[in-house]
Structure 1
């Protein structure tokens, strides 16, 4: 014996269905959302009632040549921005509601990019109800007078429906009403949510034609969402808001250890007819459109929505509202529902609001939003894959397996694509330019979906009873009331009530109390009263017999009429059968002609597509030619502009290099002049030495020391040293003179000299003997000293380097540390004064009589003409300056 795996449903053979070769394509409609106030560029144009055209926005290239391209797409109907919700319902949802009332299934879903108006199309707003509230309103407007009492129809939790008798339904109503909580106010149940009030105007109400008046109806509503490929029941009472306490081991729960119970996901199952349904999903029986929409809005508030950069309330899940309509025929008398489960017909209409496809780069999604967007895009991709494979199987004759099970959306609605009902899709598009690329993908998917054909549903069989039972029963009751009224009886009552009325009209019995044995009055009076009541009883019996005989005669007459009518109906049925045969023959001929017409239409379509391809090629080649001409003109103008620009660049570069060459030549000339001056000075010194050595009777002079050349600014700054080497002059031996600084007091100093400081050889340098020299301040050094001095060097405005001594006092803080308060700044600056005419050209000859030019160089005053200046402020306070050595040469 083979054991079955646990948790798996055994596979049953599919039910035998009547063959149906008639197929209808999926109805695809397009609705264009109005352009927002902040959007300027529109990429969609409505050409006709069935065609739209897409314009590529600026900067978007679609073909290989980088040109803009315009594409057109055709639908069953296109609804522009000015279309109303009522007109949309007339063309899209009204036929599906009409089929639902006549026992056929339907599927309607909205598809599009996020923010394209799908939820508004499906739900709407107050005063502008969408497809969903209008469908509910039309259902109850059509079946309102023929609804069964509550709980007469009952679900069996296996996607089926059972019928209860009136007694069981009454007990069920009493039991459930007792379990319901008592409302706070009497009108609490009747009060509608202000968000859903006035969804539909009274003048916009619709009603279906051809409703079977000999049947009883009941409507059941269920609402689910598919979130991250899991199914959740939005009508479940214990979803998310129920708190389960954690116990501490005793008898009382801990309030702080409470946790939220996560919603329980549902699974899909297959019923005995191989139709998919959500197991354990709550189905609520509703008796009015307001009550049904109230149930829907209760679940809508639990739906997963979030705020993104593109939509303030973006749907993060696919929502499905399932409307089930159960109907069963009345019995032969037309009073009660027929207690036969096989006679119950269940039809359903699924209204699906798909979540919009989105790109995380545009929505700015992070964390959980990225995961939600990925699952949404994956489920929509699975839907496209299933549609593509269905189209390929139908057009190419292949037999590929359609992957319905890859996604919960496709798995739930696979029966509709297999021929269980009509399928319609409303494609919502946003005409703004930012959504052009995603809208292009939506248009291609919609165009492909129109080519998929779905088998036409078969009409349900009609019960074998004679139609008009409800009206006949009502007419019989009215006739009986009329006859009772003619006989003086009460109106609208049955026979027991008539008898009760007559009994109450009998004369009362006299007093029967006997106080005297010789009383001869009481007993005769009682006997007379009883005899009178007996006569009245006989009259009542005769009256009752006459009424019964009259009723029996009337029933016999009615039976005779029914028999004659049955005979007439049989004759009419025979004629109808003959007409049916003729109709079948005509249908066969029509099918043959339709096939031939379809073949011709297919050929015409092929020719039209070929013509369109040739026209597109012609248009594209013409556009390509125009574009190339424009590109050629643009390239010529660019070439001219580049030539003019290059001429300007060449002239600017030439001028720049000329200036650079002049600068370098001047620098080189200055450098050569300096070298030549040094060489002349050396030659003059050598000439003087030779001349003095040849003079008789004169001792040899000491060797002359050349005056050192003062280094230039470029040579003094390390970052701006010249690349050419300069001659190394010999330094004049000068004894450094130092002055005692005010800093040389009794305090101990911290002498902070950075390692990058330069020694300028200045005569007046401060000397701080009682100091600690550091290159970086430290807490240890500051703790041992009372004063602080910082040596800072910078380049002055005239290009010379000046040294600043920034002084301060070391102060101890409350926290045990040290801080420095600066109180004084000393500035050391070196200046060099040069007398004009100092340089001599080496080409000048030797002066006569061996004299040296510009006076004798033998005395000390001539060789070392040095002047020392010092300018100070008042009392040598803060801000006084030390000027360096100023060297001047006598003329």
Structure 2
């Protein structure tokens, strides 16, 4: 039966986040440094166990006119001026070491201004060990009897650990001993300075409770610094070259299979005691970059990170050896970070490399502040902004801790002197904001499924076995209980037996005496030997007699053992079945979790899309209402305009029809008169002409005729139109172009109470309510005629001014000689004796609508008719 092949997992999935939503805020503590000068002004006052108050210095208040006021800040705990190092360790670092022993990670860093006591809080001094040496001492005091031999745990250069067998570990230990016999570099000969040899008082040593005795432990330490946003390994052994020393190489950050960040290629040293670990720390501390500034004699110019990594693996079922399974190895770490202090270049007067270092330090601290602000905004406002961890190495290295991979604690160190007040105020604000950030609480990780107490039971079994052997007279530590060793030690040596003189009577008696003593001791030894042999023979006989009963007992025990084996095999089968079921359920849970995440992402996306569409619909509805209001205004304006236009056109049409009706009536009257009169009685009559309503500025011209015809008594339907409305109270804008010609006649238009402009603008139009444009052009007869385009000024909806043209007036000059010529030619044609008499019937005035919507007047042509006799 072919089993289906399982797909190979190229990469281990990330560890599951805690299923519960329990979160803990970042623990922020405050430590106030004592003033170096007793007479100096203090700006910090400790009010209670968790509150401090900042007082602005007197000089700063006077310069800033009371801008700075007294402000209080609250922390998880405040450590005053008289706080000891052990008190600080008990409250801050001890819980992190306890979590490290129970499979949880931790991050502790100090933050503050330059010279505020960060390095002293982390490292300490002689007799006053800081957080780092006390954490190491507590760790080794807790796991001292349970440590594995050196090189049993080995780093795999991928932020993990491997378990070696006893042979490989022995070979590595021999190799290390051979390398230590011949040191390569002067740094390998360095030892711990006597000043820091006894930093911890043995009476202050502490131990963790609840350490798993069925596991084996090993501690690895590494020490790095972040200088100018580059990572350097302080424990890296560089070959010593006095002529051309090799500069240190920077390291890079990488991500392991569990998506945790680590420094690739960093040296990890296995240590077995507090002294050895602190010796490694001090070896790297001497390589750290420090400088002398105006604010601090030994100012740290880089961020230092001391990583304590604890490897833990369970023992086998017998409690003797470590399980050779990499999956059972649990690796946790505690990071102790000493951040460089923020400083102002105006106070330090830094130049050159010091100025560059200060800029990089302040930039990295600003990136840390920005990450904390974004995390706080995401948690409090429900946003999902990207946290800029990658902008700085210090934030990129510890981003996993803020994502829920361990506890985070910060010690804010402050200097109460008045010169640091403004920088201390910024530090307090950052600490207050950091306390509002919450980190997911990590869960306990089980190590192995074996029963507890395996190591203790194995030791008890060895002790019981030794006790039974001792009762039976067996070997105790490889020897039998007898007086034989005492007799051997009391056996006298032979004296010198050389006889030089024949008269010597002392040598032989002394030799005889010694031989007799040795012979007596030999007899006692033979007796003891025989007694032991007889005792052994009796024991053997007793043992032979009990063999049969023991064989039967062994057979019974073998039967019971067979039953137990069958039970164990059935239980193993059940365990395998349950494990398969658990794996299947875990697989289904992963699928459901991924599906839930996908659905949640889709839900958020759809909610955002729905919200955007709702906003879009609201905007469209408001635009629609605004457009409807605008269209209603336009419709009303257009309706009013067309009503006026229709009314004007109806009036013009009525006037035109009345004029046509009048012309027809006149023609009928003329025809009636022609028909009724005889040919001999026809007098010369002048065709009646209706007065023209041309809008010419010159005198009205009439055609002369021999005899006037009857004039209609009725007037046209349109009343006489005034020449100009500018004579009223309205104010006019007289637009006269600059290129106009002066004709030198009375035909020049003049409008009183008007503003004359060459180019109109909005300010002029806003002051008037009428508008007239003067335009000159050449007429068909070659004369220059003037047109006046008149209109009304009104305000638009957008707040501007507009003009609507309503009338056009035409001013034209005519020569009287041309009209007299026409009259004479018409009179001569009427007085011909031949008799084909032509009569001018009528002269009509037609009114048409111009392009500007105003009436335009034109004179119609003459219509000629013949007499009835000529037809």
Q: TM-score range by the shorter chain?
A: 0.5 to 0.7
Q: How far, CA to CA, are the matches of 1:216 and 1:410 in structure 2?
A: 33
Distance change (3 Å), C-alpha of 1:166 and 1:490: same
Q: Is the 8 A contact 1:62 1:68 kept in 2?
A: no
Q: How far, CA to CA, are the matches of 2:173 and 2:224 in structure 1?
A: 26
* TM-score, normalised by the number of residues in structure 2: 0.54
Q: Kindly report which structure 2 residues correspond to 1:340-379, keeping only aligned pairs within 5 A, or say none.
A: 340-379=325-364
Distance change (3 Å), C-alpha of 1:141 and 1:370: same
> In structure 2, which of residues 467, 473, 480 is the aligned counterpart of residue 482 of structure 1?
467
Deviations 1:189-227 (A, max 9, x none): 896421211100011001000000101000000000000
Q: How far, CA to CA, are the matches of 2:401 and 2:172 in structure 1?
A: 34
Q: Kindly report which structure 2 residues correspond to 1:385-534, keeping only aligned pairs within 5 A, or say none.
A: 385-492=370-477
Report what 1:277 is aligned to.
Answer: 262
> In structure 1, which of residues 334, 342, 349 is the aligned counterpart of residue 319 of structure 2?
334
Q: How far, CA to CA, are the matches of 1:312 and 1:474 in structure 2?
A: 55
Q: How far, CA to CA, are the matches of 1:67 and 1:157 in structure 2?
A: 55
CA drift at 1:169? 0.9
Tell me the SS of whatever aligns to 2:371: helix
Report what 1:113 is aligned to.
Answer: 113
CA drift at 1:165? 1.5
Q: How far, CA to CA, are the matches of 2:285 and 2:546 in structure 1?
A: 64
| 1:195 partnered with 2:195 | yes
Q: How far, CA to CA, are the matches of 2:100 and 2:284 in structure 1?
A: 23
CA drift at 1:178? 1.1
Q: How far, CA to CA, are the matches of 1:310 and 1:139 in structure 2?
A: 36
Q: Is the 8 A contact 1:118 1:428 kept in 2?
A: yes
Distance change (3 Å), C-alpha of 1:15 and 1:88: closer
Q: Is the 8 A contact 1:51 1:72 kept in 2?
A: yes
Q: How far, CA to CA, are the matches of 1:227 and 1:407 in structure 2?
A: 11
CA drift at 1:259? 2.0
Report what 1:168 is aligned to.
Answer: 168
Q: How far, CA to CA, are the matches of 2:246 and 2:552 in structure 1?
A: 67
| 1:43 partnered with 2:43 | yes
Q: Is the 8 A contact 1:305 1:316 kept in 2?
A: yes
Report what 2:237 is aligned to.
Answer: 237
Deviations 1:819-870 (A, max 9, x none): xxxxxxxxxxxxxxxxxxxxxxxxxxxxxxxxxxxxxxxxxxxxxxxxxxxx
* TM-score, normalised by the number of residues in structure 1: 0.53
State how many pairs are aligned.
506
Deviations 1:58-105 (A, max 9, x none): 232499963541000000000000000000000000000000011100
Distance change (3 Å), C-alpha of 1:482 and 1:111: same
Q: How far, CA to CA, are the matches of 2:32 and 2:129 in structure 1?
A: 17
> In structure 2, which of residues 228, 244, 252 is the aligned counterpart of residue 259 of structure 1?
244
Tell me the SS of whatever aligns to 1:259: coil
Report what 2:272 is aligned to.
Answer: 287
Q: How far, CA to CA, are the matches of 1:62 and 1:448 in structure 2?
A: 29
Q: How far, CA to CA, are the matches of 2:37 and 2:437 in structure 1?
A: 38
Q: Is the 8 A contact 1:214 1:470 kept in 2?
A: yes
Q: How far, CA to CA, are the matches of 2:435 and 2:555 in structure 1?
A: 59
Tell me the SS of whatever aligns to 2:265: coil
Q: How far, CA to CA, are the matches of 1:537 and 1:356 in structure 2?
A: 83
Q: Is the 8 A contact 1:20 1:458 kept in 2?
A: no
Report what 1:205 is aligned to.
Answer: 205
> In structure 2, which of residues 286, 293, 309 is the aligned counterpart of residue 324 of structure 1?
309
CA drift at 1:40? 1.4
- RMSD of the TM alignment (CA)? 3.6
Report what 1:152 is aligned to.
Answer: 152
Report what 1:29 is aligned to.
Answer: 29
Q: Is the 8 A contact 2:328 2:447 kept in 1?
A: no
Q: How far, CA to CA, are the matches of 2:178 and 2:559 in structure 1?
A: 46
CA drift at 1:485? 1.1
Q: How far, CA to CA, are the matches of 2:272 and 2:414 in structure 1?
A: 36
Larger Cα Rg: Structure 1 or Structure 2?
Answer: 2
Tell me the SS of whatever aligns to 1:109: strand
Q: Is the 8 A contact 1:391 1:451 kept in 2?
A: yes
CA drift at 1:300? 0.3
CA drift at 1:277? 0.4
Q: Is the 8 A contact 2:103 2:331 kept in 1?
A: yes
Distance change (3 Å), C-alpha of 1:480 and 1:111: same
CA drift at 1:475? 1.1
Tell me the SS of whatever aligns to 1:311: coil
Q: How far, CA to CA, are the matches of 2:63 and 2:552 in structure 1?
A: 89
Q: Is the 8 A contact 2:219 2:309 kept in 1?
A: yes
Q: Is the 8 A contact 2:18 2:442 kept in 1?
A: no
Q: How far, CA to CA, are the matches of 1:387 and 1:144 in structure 2?
A: 38
Q: Is the 8 A contact 2:25 2:436 kept in 1?
A: yes
Tell me the SS of whatever aligns to 1:422: strand
Q: How far, CA to CA, are the matches of 1:294 and 1:467 in structure 2?
A: 35
Report what 2:755 is aligned to.
Answer: none
Report what 2:833 is aligned to.
Answer: none
Q: Is the 8 A contact 1:62 1:69 kept in 2?
A: no
Q: Kindly report which structure 2 residues correspond to 1:614-629, keeping only aligned pairs within 5 A, or say none.
A: none
Report what 1:588 is aligned to.
Answer: none
Q: How far, CA to CA, are the matches of 1:470 and 1:63 in structure 2?
A: 71
Q: Is the 8 A contact 1:108 1:423 kept in 2?
A: yes
Q: How far, CA to CA, are the matches of 2:12 and 2:437 in structure 1?
A: 28
Q: How far, CA to CA, are the matches of 1:162 and 1:548 in structure 2?
A: 49
Q: How far, CA to CA, are the matches of 1:552 and 1:389 in structure 2?
A: 77
Report what 1:94 is aligned to.
Answer: 94
CA drift at 1:243? 2.0
CA drift at 1:38? 6.6
Q: How far, CA to CA, are the matches of 1:227 and 1:544 in structure 2?
A: 79
CA drift at 1:172? 1.2
Q: How far, CA to CA, are the matches of 2:287 and 2:547 in structure 1?
A: 63
Deviations 1:12-61 (A, max 9, x none): 86444342311000000000000111761110000000000000012324
Deviations 1:329-361 (A, max 9, x none): 110000011111111111100000000000111
Q: Is the 8 A contact 1:329 1:343 kept in 2?
A: yes
Report what 2:619 is aligned to.
Answer: none
Q: How far, CA to CA, are the matches of 1:190 and 1:264 in structure 2?
A: 22
Q: How far, CA to CA, are the matches of 1:556 and 1:361 in structure 2?
A: 90
Distance change (3 Å), C-alpha of 1:38 and 1:161: same
Distance change (3 Å), C-alpha of 1:391 and 1:488: same
Q: How far, CA to CA, are the matches of 2:199 and 2:553 in structure 1?
A: 55
Unpaired stretches in structure 1, ≥5 consecutive residues: 1-9, 245-257, 499-532, 571-891
Distance change (3 Å), C-alpha of 1:63 and 1:452: farther
